Structure 1
Amino acid sequence: MPDLRFQSQPPAHTEIPRPKRAEGQWSLGYTEPLNKNEQSKKDDDALNVRDRILYTYSKRGFASIDPADLRGRFRWMGLYTQRAPGFDGGKTAMLEEEELDDEYFMLRVRSDGRLLSHEAVRALGTIGVDFARDTADVTDRENIQYHWIRIEDVPEIWERLDAAGLSSLEACGDSPRPFLGSPVAGVAKDEIIDGTPALEEIFDRFIGDPAFSNFPRKFKTALTGHPSHDVSPETNDVSFVGTVHPEHGPGFDCWVGGGLSTNPRLAEKMGVWIPLDEVADVWSAVASVFRDYGYRRLRSRARLKFLVADWGIEKFREVVEKEYLGRELVSCDSPPSPTGHRDHIGVHEQKDGKFYVGVAPVAGRVSGSLLVELADTIEEYGVAGARLTPYQKIVLVGVDADRVEDLVTRLDEIGLSARPSQWRRNTMACTGIEFCKLAIVDTKERARDLVTELEKRFPDLDTPITVNVNGCPNACARTQIADIGLKGQLVMHEGEQVEGFQVHLGGATGLQANFGRKLRAHKVTSAGLDDYITAVVGNYLVDRQDAESFATWVARAEEELLRGEKALTPS
């Protein structure tokens, strides 16, 4: 295995002890693949599959696809086979992946914090209409995700994306996954620094570069210069967070090693100051550490968070500086954490006197035709463009003051409310069993039905309560950091296995960052979810003190109130 690090880097000065058991770390000499995934990547760089899709598979059809490409390298092109119809959640862990494969694909298109013009939004919409049975979802990684994609149609889809300045390259796989950028970059009144140029530089320099196409596993990036930390920086592999140095001015701190799934861990803060024009260099250094020192033996330990946990943040920073940057970073206290998160929903004045408008599709579900309508609306009202958010929302940027109210009315007419209920505003859901081969339960429709019911039961809820619905333990919808996190699983009810959820309560990011409280042996059936959340929220509204948040209340509440076994009544 060749050394893929930059040839200009200085000699290593840090001493990394050789572990007793091989973890597959390239820099320690363990270059032989220790599992089938690593062998597949060694056999052929996944980036090479693009040409096979264009010139072979799209012309010969699904049956012609090499299994190693189909269930491995296709992911680097943003393509996953979707779940075949007819398999319930009990089959998810019992059947091999190929048995769950349908002959259609999910396609993930990255936006990377870009401002999408009306032409780009229209291209995204027409792809959904023409090739994806009118599907389209806004994901919590600022992607547009389609279903029912045929391999024969991929070349034309890519042509349309290229023409719109968009891409599905490395949207999945053991690669630099799509970046999270602040939806209000460059326009928010209270922004510390606009990081857009840094995200563009990282994309231009490193996406599609073979030196960064083979990580131990996925590598998630976030960057924001907004004080609300609106990209969930605590849960990404590497995040750049706006900060102010007392002498040097605005720049970015670097946080590393965040991630959720079955072993959740919040990112460690380096406590540094990085100028805008050096962010891409630091990104490449952190990414290189992960590539060269990351654990490749077990997929379950192949995320950066495990390396950071074992080394500690001081050792990690030392390796970044000495082995990859060749210089020390400027130390600076990490920026203060905000309370809660900022989703940018509603109407807000920009620093240039124009406005941005955040709208809330329910649980991120839109459609190709809705995106076409949105593109028409953006063009008609002279809006500068749209950004996707890490909370499955859409923000329209650059709205003239005298057109705001007419625009808000028009958006509401097409199903994108800028003044949604707290439930619609604060509910997220992953793809779920409808299309995902890892899922155990339905999520999207269950979340939409839940929102509708809770709007009836609590029509005037006066405080945000986030509800994140996930179809399996992988936490794509960030269940552990929601007020109410729901992890899909099969549960026993009256002697039968039915769809249900393990409940996490009181999770948060920002100042109160923590993972939700789990109650021992507490499960809720999907059918009983409306009543359970009604009981818990009802108890909170009765028992809260002054402006106490849901997460703060959960931390002190009696367990029977959290289980919904006891119902408080207003005095």
Structure 2
Amino acid sequence: MTDTSTPTKSQGQWALGQRDALNPNEKFKAEENPLLVRDRIERVYAREGFAAIHPDDLRGRFRWWGLYTQRKPGIDGGRTAVLAPEELDDEYFMMRVRSDGGQLDLAQLRAIADISTRYARDTADVTDRQNIQLHWVRIEDVPEIWRRLEAVGLSTTEACGDCPRVVLGSPVAGVSADEVVDATPAIREIVDRFVGDLSLSNLPRKFKSTVSWLADVPYEANDVAFLGAVHPEHGPGFDVWVGGGLSTAPMLAQRLGAWVPLSEVPDVWVAIARLFRDYGYRRLRHRARLKFLVADWGVERFRAVLEEEFLGRPLPDGPPPALPATPIDHIGVHRQRDGRHYVGVAPVVGRVSGKQLTQLADIAQAHGSGRVRLTAYQKLLVLDVADPEPLVRDLRAIGLEAEPSPWRRNTMACTGIEFCKLAVVDTKNRAATLVAELEERLADRPVALSVNLNGCPNSCARAQVADIGLKGMLVTDADGAQVEGFQVHLGGGLGMAESRGGGFGRKLRGLKTTAAELPAYVERLSLRYLDGRVDESESFTDWVARAPEEQLR
């Protein structure tokens, strides 16, 4: 299907015969499929060391195996965009471990914990993509780490890169009393059939997806999402959404208007991935996400091309999913459909350790559980618990809280300047300090607001869709010095597009705060909201929409 409205300037769309590599990333992908770098890692680089690694592998193909170079310690945020990549690189790696659907059994959890303590200086972060990230990994240790992960059914395959990333899923799939269809079989089939497929390992950019009956995942921020919906004729299945993504040009996913049964989800998923591969823009990296194609085409044309060129059949129209009023994070004690319980706990902004994960496995096993889940909100769940109260006490003793303060429960942070080469400010430590101070400052004025801290504009912690979204930047303090700070977004939230006309936070001109002043600012804003809302039912989003600007500063 050729469209005469397509710009004459090549966008690198393969389906239109535009095969020239138009930027450095496209060139190294064209020279060799990035997945093939594993052989060099095992045969050459692990033996010869960091200095032997070719730059195209180091900062390019390694990502397809979950490896990013870390930021060299001591480089401040003001030099992030100034220094050359080789000046920012430390000789250690962040390693991202896939856990599609956030599902881990105890053997897998113990393997990650052991790797953390042996090879990653006891680091482990639960991300908002249902992964665990390790730090301080040496190239010499990577083959042994892979061996240990793969022995328990885990991998780092395509955990990063221009390829299918981890598939999000409900952390309570298969146990929730509110779930009609367990999407786990579809997630497993997608991973088994398509992760590591050489024909899908050169997409224009990352490809993020979610498959879940429950809307307890950030579906609107994904390239493709399948959400549970009951068709009036065909019964339970999934509603299809496309074109979501945040970063510097945020867009929310749109309904395709199509309904898919569980058995067909993998086929529709791969059809969308192939459409992205063939029609996605490859000229400019910042316009290479699927969301730009959806925005330019519209969902009607997107669906027509999907059906005619990639599926070879029409999809039935379907109803929208039933969406919750507020995001679901599963913190606390909840009854499963089988009468047992699952318990959701909150580490502080997703930061845990190998030692803590070992303790978590021991506690879960002692209380009869063999399954742990990771959530898309940097939280942990223990499933299948008969008597939850002793478990709650034991988890609290190791710093995992099932009854957290609203601030601990609702604050997320990306990796930040500690390890990330793109960041300009610290996030994890700032967020932990913020949580501790607000727990003290607002102990007698409870308020449940989400706070998302991001170290740069890329929005890995979803800054635009939090009650208080914070984008890291350098700002000028009262003394005229350049210091770490944040641009502020207010009143965002996912799952709100249908009811309130969009989920992005309000961004006021010049609304910034230094990192040092952040706790005082959030305290001041929270009190103004509590004192200025019409009544207890008025949400922070609605208050922000009508509040005078001076009340938001």
TM-score by length of 2: 0.98
Aligned partners of 1:384 and 1:399 also within 8 Å: no
The answer to whether structure 1 residue 299 and structure 2 residue 285 are counterparts is: yes
1:271 Cα shift? 1.6
After the TM superposition, which segments of 4 or more aligned residues of structure 1 sit over 3 Å from their partners? 13-18, 460-463
Question: Which residue is 1:532 aligned to?
Answer: 521
Range with greater deviation from structure 2 (321-330 or 457-466): 457-466
Q: Which amino acid aligns with 2:505?
A: G
Rate the CA distance shift 1:16–1:275 in 2: closer, same or farther, 3 A.
farther
Rate the CA distance shift 1:481–1:114 in 2: closer, same or farther, 3 A.
closer
Aligned partners of 1:124 and 1:368 also within 8 Å: yes
Q: Distance in 1 between matches of 2:453 and 2:102?
A: 27
Say which of 513, 537, 540 aligns to 1:550. Answer: 540
The answer to whether structure 1 residue 309 and structure 2 residue 299 are counterparts is: no
Q: Distance in 1 between matches of 2:518 and 2:6?
A: 49
3-state DSSP class of the match of 1:358?
strand
1:337 Cα shift? 2.9
Aligned partners of 2:2 and 2:16 also within 8 Å: no
1:521 Cα shift? 1.1
Aligned partners of 1:14 and 1:322 also within 8 Å: no
3-state DSSP class of the match of 2:507?
strand
Question: Which residue is 1:427 aligned to?
Answer: 411
After superposition, give the CA deviation of every residue in 1:360-411 in whole Å (9 maximum; x if it has no partner). Answer: 00100001110011111111111130110000001111111xx211000000
Say which of 273, 278, 282 aligns to 2:259. Answer: 273
Question: Which residue is 1:413 aligned to?
Answer: 397
3-state DSSP class of the match of 1:234?
helix
Aligned partners of 1:14 and 1:319 also within 8 Å: no
Q: Distance in 2 between matches of 1:123 and 1:291?
A: 34
1:15 Cα shift? 4.4
Question: Which residue is 1:247 aligned to?
Answer: 233
Question: Which residue is 1:508 aligned to?
Answer: 493
Question: Which residue is 1:150 aligned to?
Answer: 138
Question: Which residue is 2:16 aligned to?
Answer: 28
Question: Which residue is 1:8 aligned to?
Answer: none
3-state DSSP class of the match of 1:366?
strand
Q: Which amino acid aligns with 2:124?
A: A
The answer to whether structure 1 residue 523 and structure 2 residue 523 are counterparts is: no
Aligned partners of 2:12 and 2:22 also within 8 Å: yes
| Long gaps (5+) in structure 1 | 1-12, 564-571
Say which of 380, 389, 393 aligns to 2:375. Answer: 389
The answer to whether structure 1 residue 355 and structure 2 residue 345 are counterparts is: no
Q: Distance in 2 between matches of 1:83 and 1:193?
A: 43
The answer to whether structure 1 residue 288 and structure 2 residue 274 are counterparts is: yes
After superposition, give the CA deviation of every residue in 1:81-103 in whole Å (9 maximum; x if it has no partner). Answer: 00001110000011111110000
Q: Distance in 1 between matches of 2:128 and 2:383?
A: 19
Aligned partners of 1:482 and 1:505 also within 8 Å: yes
The answer to whether structure 1 residue 69 and structure 2 residue 60 are counterparts is: no
Question: Which residue is 1:138 aligned to?
Answer: 126
Q: Distance in 2 between matches of 1:17 and 1:206?
A: 32
Say which of 431, 442, 448 aligns to 1:447. Answer: 431
Aligned partners of 2:102 and 2:168 also within 8 Å: no
Q: Distance in 2 between matches of 1:317 and 1:137?
A: 37
Aligned partners of 1:482 and 1:508 also within 8 Å: yes
1:105 Cα shift? 0.2
Say which of 73, 81, 84 aligns to 2:72. Answer: 84
Q: Which amino acid aligns with 1:230?
A: D
Q: Distance in 1 between matches of 2:54 and 2:333?
A: 50
1:14 Cα shift? 6.1
1:543 Cα shift? 0.8
Question: Which residue is 2:42 aligned to?
Answer: 54
Q: Distance in 2 between matches of 1:66 and 1:358?
A: 43
3-state DSSP class of the match of 1:518?
coil
Aligned partners of 2:97 and 2:133 also within 8 Å: yes
Q: Distance in 1 between matches of 2:219 and 2:250?
A: 14
Aligned partners of 1:128 and 1:136 also within 8 Å: yes
3-state DSSP class of the match of 1:220?
strand
Aligned partners of 1:272 and 1:334 also within 8 Å: no
Aligned partners of 2:447 and 2:526 also within 8 Å: no
Question: Which residue is 1:122 aligned to?
Answer: 110
Q: Distance in 1 between matches of 2:384 and 2:262?
A: 24
Q: Which amino acid aligns with 1:86?
A: G
Q: Distance in 2 between matches of 1:363 and 1:409?
A: 20
1:67 Cα shift? 0.9
Question: Which residue is 1:333 aligned to?
Answer: 319
1:273 Cα shift? 1.2
Q: Distance in 1 between matches of 2:531 and 2:200?
A: 53
Q: CA RMSD in A?
A: 1.0
Identity of aligned residues (%): 62
Aligned partners of 1:189 and 1:351 also within 8 Å: yes
Q: Which amino acid aligns with 2:374?
A: L
Alignment of 1:204-219 (within 5 A): 204-219=192-207
Q: Distance in 2 between matches of 1:518 and 1:509?
A: 16
Question: Which residue is 2:484 aligned to?
Answer: 499
Q: Which amino acid aligns with 2:128?
A: D
Aligned partners of 1:422 and 1:461 also within 8 Å: no
Q: Distance in 1 between matches of 2:109 and 2:49?
A: 29
Q: Distance in 2 between matches of 1:87 and 1:339?
A: 43
Aligned partners of 2:491 and 2:540 also within 8 Å: yes
After superposition, give the CA deviation of every residue in 1:44-75 in whole Å (9 maximum; x if it has no partner). Answer: 00000111111111011111111110010000
After superposition, give the CA deviation of every residue in 1:287-328 in whole Å (9 maximum; x if it has no partner). Answer: 011100000000010000000000000000001100010100
3-state DSSP class of the match of 2:352?
coil
| Long gaps (5+) in structure 2 | none
Q: Distance in 2 between matches of 1:89 and 1:134?
A: 25
Aligned partners of 1:77 and 1:168 also within 8 Å: yes
